[in-house]
């Protein structure tokens, strides 16, 4: 098998993967519309999230192909600015620690750190690489300045994972580890809501996260029990129980897996899990270097953990940022295409001689 044939096969596989991802996102939107029609719900939030993620991914693929270093580097700077300015723009008062309205700030800091580290891993220029690593460290420290310790921990975890990714020869092991981390976070949230943990541990977790948050999770399981397959309808989770009174519904501490379980049933949860698995699969097949791929995967996994604990996916900037980072990490830079074409032309000339 020649190198050109292998390249064609790889391209075909990536095209199939891209198509599968778009189909999954379309199914998410379609299922939200179906459950909303059945239960008289409000699917606008889900539709906006799907649109933002798809648009961000497409933009990331295009800009990543044209500017594989500059695009994520600029995105990291923009994410840092948004993380600093966003808390003042959120509706309603901050409702609790450790996440509260800083959940969106933490998510943006993690995504911005991932973008900066991806750009640092991609550039061959030592001076620019050092500047991008410095930007990543600055983003981590910004979590302390903005009063978001969760953001500092989240972005710091992404930075450490990026540093460790440089010594990992096989990306498959890293991708599998990221999947287990996200599954563990979602499973832990369900265990707390269902009360299957030992009593002392449940009390400790409840005190740490806040009774209002755990109460909302329990409400989600109660709603899911009424309609386990299709849920009670989009936009209806967070209404019963009166948790966190006085706080607008859009800033209540939801949990993405439990929210979908309550509003769209098991089908909605399976679709969310399928989208995340597709992202990891796309990263695994991506033509970018392994450190770039694993760095992006680490940032998106941190986002998945935050989404299991709060309502970070309710913010369009976060979902769009996740799509952008996915697009940057899975893009095929045109400079690589041109170099491969030249190498294949030279190889063809030598063969003919």
Tell me the three state secondary structure of residue 204: helix
Question: Is residue 287 over pLDDT 50?
Answer: yes
* In contact, 108 and 79? CB cutoff 8 Å: yes
For residue 112, what pLDDT is reported? 97
pTM (two decimals): 0.87
Distances (CA, A) of 96 to 28, 72, 102, 206: 30, 32, 9, 13
Helix axes 102-122, 126-145, angle to 10 degrees: 170
Chain center to CA of 94: 23
Question: Is residue 343 over pLDDT 70?
Answer: no
pLDDT tens profile 53-103:
999 999 999 999 999 999 999 999 999 998 888 654 444 444 444 454 557
Question: Is residue 237 over pLDDT 80?
Answer: no
What are the structure tokens assigned to 342, written together? 């030249």
Count of the separate structural domains present in the chain: 1
pLDDT tens profile 98-151:
454 557 889 999 999 999 999 999 999 999 999 999 999 999 999 888 878 888
Range(s) of the domain holding residue 9: 3-352
Contacting residues for 239 by C-beta, under 8 A, at least 6 apart: 249
For residue 243, what pLDDT is reported? 41
CA 297 – CA 278 distance, rounded (Å): 12
Rg of the chain on CA atoms, in Å: 21
Question: Is residue 300 over pLDDT 70?
Answer: yes
More confident of the two residues 145 and 162:
162
* In contact, 146 and 101? CB cutoff 8 Å: no
Question: Is residue 340 over pLDDT 50?
Answer: no
The angle formed by the CA atoms of residues 9, 10 and 14, to the nearest 5 degrees, is 120
For residue 213, what pLDDT is reported? 82
pLDDT tens profile 202-232:
788 888 877 878 888 888 898 888 889 988 8
The angle formed by the CA atoms of residues 257, 206 and 194, to the nearest 5 degrees, is 50
Respond yes or no on whether the N-terminal peptide bond of residue 203 is cis (omega within 30° of 0). no
Chain center to CA of 91: 23
**What's the pLDDT band for 336 if we cut at 50, 70, 90?**
low
Strand intervals (E) in 6-86: none
Contacting residues for 284 by C-beta, under 8 A, at least 6 apart: 171, 172, 175, 293
pLDDT tens profile 11-53:
666 678 888 889 999 999 999 999 999 888 889 989 999 999 9
| b/e map 99-119, b = 16+ CB within 10 Å | bbbbbbbbbbbbbbbbbbbbb
Query: Quick one: which of 70, 31, 74, 67 has its CA closest to 49?
Result: 31
Respond yes or no on whether the N-terminal peptide bond of residue 98 is cis (omega within 30° of 0). yes
């Amino acid at each position: 098998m020649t190198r050109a044939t292998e390249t064609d096969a790889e391209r075909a596989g990536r095209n199939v993967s891209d198509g599968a991802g778009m189909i999954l996102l379309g199914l998410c939107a379609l299922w939200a519309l179906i459950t909303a029609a059945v239960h008289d719900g409000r699917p606008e939030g889900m539709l906006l999230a799907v649109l933002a993620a798809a648009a961000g991914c497409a933009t990331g693929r295009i800009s990543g192909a044209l500017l594989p270093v500059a695009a994520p580097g600029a995105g990291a700077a923009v994410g840092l600015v948004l993380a600093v300015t966003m808390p003042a723009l959120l509706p309603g008062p901050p409702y609790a620690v450790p996440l509260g309205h800083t959940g969106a700030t933490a998510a943006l800091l993690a995504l911005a750190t991932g973008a900066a580290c991806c750009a640092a891993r991609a550039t061959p220029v030592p001076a620019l690489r050092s500047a991008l690593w410095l930007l990543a460290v600055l983003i981590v420290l910004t979590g302390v300045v903005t009063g978001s310790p969760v953001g500092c921990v989240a972005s710091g975890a992404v930075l450490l994972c990026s540093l460790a990714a440089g010594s990992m020869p096989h990306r498959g092991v890293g991708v599998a580890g990221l999947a287990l981390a996200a599954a563990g976070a979602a499973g832990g949230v369900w265990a707390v809501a269902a009360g299957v943990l030992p009593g002392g541990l449940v009390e400790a977790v409840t005190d740490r996260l806040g009774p209002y948050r755990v109460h909302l999770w329990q409400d989600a399981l109660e709603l899911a029990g009424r309609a386990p397959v299709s849920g009670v309808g989009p936009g209806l989770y967070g209404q019963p129980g009166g948790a966190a009174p006085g706080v607008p519904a859009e800033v209540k501490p939801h949990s993405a897996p439990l929210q979908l379980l309550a509003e769209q049933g098991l089908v909605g949860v399976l679709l969310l899990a399928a989208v995340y698995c597709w992202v990891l699969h796309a990263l695994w097949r991506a033509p970018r270097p392994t450190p770039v791929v694993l760095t992006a995967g680490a940032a998106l996994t941190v986002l998945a953990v935050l989404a299991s604990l709060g309502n970070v996916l309710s913010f369009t900037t976060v979902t769009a940022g996740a799509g952008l980072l996915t697009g940057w990490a899975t893009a095929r830079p045109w400079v690589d295409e041109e170099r491969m074409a030249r190498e294949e032309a030279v190889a063809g000339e030598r063969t003919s001689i």
